[in-house]
Every structure is written in C-alpha cells, then in structure tokens.
Structure 1
Amino acid sequence: MSTAIHDIGYRHYDGPRLGRAHTVRALYQYNLRSVFGLGRGPRAKILPMMMVAFMLLPAAGDIAILSFARTPEALIDYSMYAFYLQMIIAIFLATQAPVIASRDQRFRTVPLYFSRPVGAWDFVLAKFAAFVTALLLLVAVPVTLLHLGFLTMRGTMIEHGSKGVPSVVDQTGYYLAALVGCLLLALVLSSFALLIAAFTPRRGFGVAAVMAVYLISNVVVLIIQVVSLGNGDYDLAGWANLLTPFRLVDGVQARLLGADIGVRGDSVPPAGSGPVFLLGCLAVIGGSLALLTRRFRKAGA
C-alpha cells in the first residue's frame, strides 16, 4: 500500500483583517439592498418599488397643481405628508420588515453570523439602521420634492400676486423641521415593525402581525377620540394619540417642532404635551431594540 502527499496550494490568509466595523457595515448594506429587492429576483423588487412610486406621485401631482394654482395654499403641509399616506407606509412596513427580521430565522443563518466576531447588538444595529434608512428615503424624498417644487414656483407665485407666500428662510425652516419628523417617524416605525416581525420566521405571519398592530391601534384611538370629542373632552382625545405610532410622532411635530396645528383637527395633543410624546417615541425605540436584541440572541444560541 502506497501513500502520497498532494500539494493543494493551501496558504494562510495574510491580507488585512477588516474587523468588526467592516462586518457591521457589510450587514447594513446587505439589509438595505434587501429591503428594496436589490440583488434578488424581479418579484422581490415589484412591491417596494410600487410603494416608492405611490409615495412620490402625490408630491409630483401637488407640484403640478401648484404650477397652475400659483398659491401657497395648494402646497401639501410637509409635516402631514407621511400622515396622509400612512397606509402606503404601513404596507411597506408590513411587507418589508419580515424581509429583514424573519428570513435569517427561517433559514437558520443567525448562528452562522454569531460565529464571527459579531454580537447580537451589532446584528440588530445593522438591521435597524438599514430599515431606518430605507423608511427615511421613502418618506423624506417626497417631502424634499415638495420643497424643491416650492422653491421653483415661489418667484412665479409672487409675480402672479399671490398673498402670504412664505420667505425662502421660513419655508426651509418648515422643511428642516419636517425632516426631523421624518427621521423620528422612521426610527419609531422601524423599531416596532422589526420587533413584531422578528417573533415569527414565517413572512406571511409577520406581514399580518404588523398590519394588525397598525390597524387595531388606529381603530382604538379613533374610537377613543370620537367618544371623547362627543363628550367635549378635547384633552383626552389629544392624549389618545400616544397609543398609535403615526400619531405619536405627529404629537412631537405638533408640539415640539412647530408644525401647523390648524390642519390637525380637534384631536391635536394638548399644549405642553410635546416632551411626553417625545419620551413615548424614545420608549418605543429603546424598548423595541432591547427586545429585538434579546430575540436574536436567543435565535443565535
């Protein structure tokens, strides 16, 4: 019996070790691409791209109306844009959060990630940052388009004799405040949607769960506000906004970021309630991330 030793050309890796930060950044980029279906098949791109188009259409249509009406009243309030289109955002949340939070559990790849120098917090942070970025783009780009439309049409409105045309400085201030609201909305919605989706490896269940929480919370708040306003209790109607994510963030915009209260009806949060709504947002973000980290740590054990 003879033996032979074969040289298969194996060599130790002598290149640079990019480290933990590079791994987290790679995870972030991968998850961000996955949200929009990039790097996946055509079917994965259809729904997110449709939601992007649906979010942009009202802004484009409003700019077209502004070009004919030539009056600042035709411009959609920046801070209310996401609130008006919350159903589209909710569909995006429900369909794409499981892509981020459920697939790794369904295919049991979480332990493989944790076998590298990546902890549960790094894993969650990369996913959360990617989903926040995607949602911020979804919401902030149409608002930016509205602002660019105003800047383009402002001179025409003044020449047309329209009254009450805001200055560029004032309107830019409203725009920047709306961007802060968009960021806060992305943080709150991403955290709670990922948490809900992470509790099931099945995408269909994750979609249903996120939509159920959104719809049920809105119905509960609507019932409370209808009853409260019917009894003349405007404060209770305003405080009820704490119970649903979109209105929770809108309370911060209305009472801390200087958004127009007049377009929000009778259920606007009470005066001085802004810090409470902000604390509510921070509690949702912090609590969701803590539970999400615990969930993935268990999945990776």
Structure 2
Amino acid sequence: MSTTQPDAQSGAHADVIHDIGYRHYDGPRLGRAYARRSLYAQSLRGAYGLGRSAKSKVMPMILFAVMCAPAAIIVAVAIGTKMTKMPIEYTRYAIIMQAVISLFLAAQAPQSVSLDLRFKVTPLYFSRPIERIDYVAAKYAALATALFILTAVPVTILYIGALLAKFDFTDATSGFAKALVAELLLSLLYAGLGLLIAALTPRRGFGVAGIIALFTLSFGAVSSVQAVASVQGSEGAIAWLGLFSPITLIDGVQTWWLGASSSYVDGAGPSSAFAGCVFLLVLLALIGGTFGLLMSRYRKVGLS
C-alpha cells in the first residue's frame, strides 16, 4: 500500500510503501468445475440435513423413513405369505406416495434457494469463478438427486424383496428398471417446479405454501374432474385432463411409455400414440422451461 508524505527538505510529497502483511496466493486455483461440484454436494447434503443442525435433520429423515416403511412392510408380507409377485407395481409406488414427496419438496426447495435470496448472498456466488448457470445447474441437480434418492430407495427395497422371495427375475428387473426411469422424470419435474416457486420469494414460508398449493390443488382439481368425466362417460376428456397436474402428467407418461397401469380412474392415461407424445413433450417442455425461467430469475438477481 502506498501513501504520500511531505519531504522535510524540499517540501515536496514523497511516496512511501507500507508492508501491511498481504501475501500473494500461489496455490492451486480449482476453477468453476470444482466450485460447481462443491455447491452441488453441499446442496444435496443440505436437503437431508447433513452438515446442518440436528433440528434440520428431523423433517427430511422422517419423510425418508415414511417413504421406505410401506415398501419394507410390503416385502415382509410378500415373503411371509409366499406370494408369487409383488402386490403393487414398482411404477405405482411413487404415485401412491405423492403426498410425502410433495412435503419433502416443499420443505427442501425453499431451504435450498430462498435463504440465499433472503440474506442477499446470491450475488456473492456469481463472483468468479462461478456463474449463474453453474448456480442454477448445481441447485437443480442437487434437489433432483435428493428426490430421486427419496423415490428410488423404496423401489429398490421392493426389488430386493422380490429377489429374496424368488419372484420371476425378468419381470422384477423389468418393472424395477421402468420405475427408475419414472422416478428420474418425476424428480426432474418436481425439482424444477419447486425451485422455480421457491426462487420467486426470499420468504421461506411463502415458498412452502406455494409449492404445497401447486401440487395439492392441481391434483385435487384434476382428479375430481376426471372422476366426474368418468361417471358421465367422457372418455376423451379424462386423458387430456392429466396434463394439468404434475403427478397425473407423470402418471400419463409412464402409463403410455412404460406400460404401467394408471393409478387413478379408468382411462386416465393417454389413449393414443399422439396423446402419449403430447404428454411426453409437455413433460420435457416443463423440465426445460423451469430451468430456463430459473436462469432468467437469477439473471435479475445478479443485476440487483
């Protein structure tokens, strides 16, 4: 650091350099990839309360246990009663347990991004080397991974139980593989929608309420109208109504593309190849669209 002091003889000002102890960093610079991986790992651990206080672990761990408990019970009953196949399809498990998945998402999506907005630390992430796309991609991937773990572990328990019970290996493996594909699509869709809602407000409570409202109200409205349409014999309307709720959208995609049976009213899945393609395209558009909207949101945050 340099300062200017007067020269006693000439009266002119002379520059003096003071050593205040700063040292140049000569160590390795790990770059964007390392920062992105670190943010991903930290966010994934945080989704289950790891590395946080004991209080933060209670909710995610309880929900994880609730997701796994029915699968363990089903396996015990299937083995104990000597069934010849599982009483539930692998692809239906996450659909049936959708309320638990929505609660997990509502609790963890705001935790992942809302607190950064509230305490105004998000712009700090965008200082080099990390950029907006790194932040969004890491948060998105971390929450999607957390949801995939939440939904895939119970299905894995069912599959292991099927092997222990010596059920048909081909059928069990085929159903398990289809379920993993369905859980991956569900995780990507839910993570995108949850993060988008949570990123709109720095208030965690508002994010929680918004996510619960989206998944609960949309499913309630769609399933109710589908039930009415089923009673009235409107077969065509039943299938298309599934586009307007995240969980019925997933159900429709796995019904047509993965050969799963619909978990709701008869005829709820796509009734033709065209309808099946529309369901898949809408799902992919929502996944890509939520990522794009998150990028737009954080572009504004970075400028604020």
**The two structures share one fold, judged by TM-score above 0.5:** yes
Instruction: Report the Cα distance in structure 1 between the residues aligned to 2:176 and 2:65, rounded to whole angstroms.
Output: 21
Question: Cα deviations across residues 197-235 of structure 1 (Å, max 9, x unaligned)?
Answer: 111101111100000111111122023212211220122
**Which residue is 2:91 aligned to?**
79
- Could you state the TM-score of these two structures normalised by the residue count of structure 1? 0.91
Which one-letter code corresponds to 1:298 in the other structure? Answer: K
**Which residue is 1:122 aligned to?**
134
Instruction: Kindly indicate whether the alpha-carbon contact (under 8 Å) linking 2:226 and 2:265 is maintained by their aligned counterparts in 1.
Output: no
List structure 1 segments (4+ residues) > 6 angstroms apart after TM superposition. Answer: none
Structure 1 residue 236 corresponds to structure 2 residue 248: no
- Cα offset, 1:76, TM superposition: 2.1
Which stretches in structure 1 are left out of the alignment for 5+ residues?
A: 155-164
Mapping 1:1-301, distance limit 5 Å:
9-154=21-166, 167-261=168-262, 264-266=264-266, 267-272=268-273, 273-301=275-303
- Cα offset, 1:13, TM superposition: 1.3
* SS of alignment partner, residue 129 of structure 1: helix
Question: Cα deviations across residues 155-195 of structure 1 (Å, max 9, x unaligned)?
Answer: xxxxxxxxxx5x31232011101100000000001001110
- Cα offset, 1:296, TM superposition: 1.5
Question: Cα deviations across residues 119-168 of structure 1 (Å, max 9, x unaligned)?
Answer: 211110000000000000000010011000000011xxxxxxxxxx5x31
- Could you state the TM-score of these two structures normalised by the residue count of structure 2? 0.90
How much identity, in percent, do the aligned residues show?
47
Instruction: Report the Cα distance in structure 1 between the residues aligned to 2:162 and 2:112, rounded to whole angstroms.
Output: 36
- Cα offset, 1:73, TM superposition: 4.7
* SS of alignment partner, residue 102 of structure 1: helix
Instruction: Report the Cα distance in structure 2 between the residues aligned to 1:201 and 1:264, rounded to whole angstroms.
Output: 36
Question: Cα deviations across residues 88-116 of structure 1 (Å, max 9, x unaligned)?
Answer: 01100111110112011011001111112
Which one-letter code corresponds to 1:229 in the other structure? Answer: S
Which stretches in structure 2 are left out of the alignment for 5+ residues?
A: 6-15
Which one-letter code corresponds to 1:124 in the other structure? Answer: V
Instruction: Report the Cα distance in structure 1 between the residues aligned to 2:261 and 2:170, rounded to whole angstroms.
Output: 17
Instruction: Report the Cα distance in structure 2 between the residues aligned to 1:186 and 1:146, rounded to whole angstroms.
Output: 19
Question: What is the alpha-carbon root mean square deviation over aligned residues?
Answer: 2.0
Instruction: Kindly indicate whether the alpha-carbon contact (under 8 Å) linking 1:83 and 1:246 is maintained by their aligned counterparts in 2.
Output: yes
Structure having the higher Rg: 2
Instruction: Report the Cα distance in structure 1 between the residues aligned to 2:216 and 2:171, rounded to whole angstroms.
Output: 36
- Cα offset, 1:11, TM superposition: 2.3
Which one-letter code corresponds to 1:67 in the other structure? Answer: I
Instruction: Kindly indicate whether the alpha-carbon contact (under 8 Å) linking 1:65 and 1:74 is maintained by their aligned counterparts in 2.
Output: no
Question: Cα deviations across residues 17-49 of structure 1 (Å, max 9, x unaligned)?
Answer: 111111111110111111111111111110000
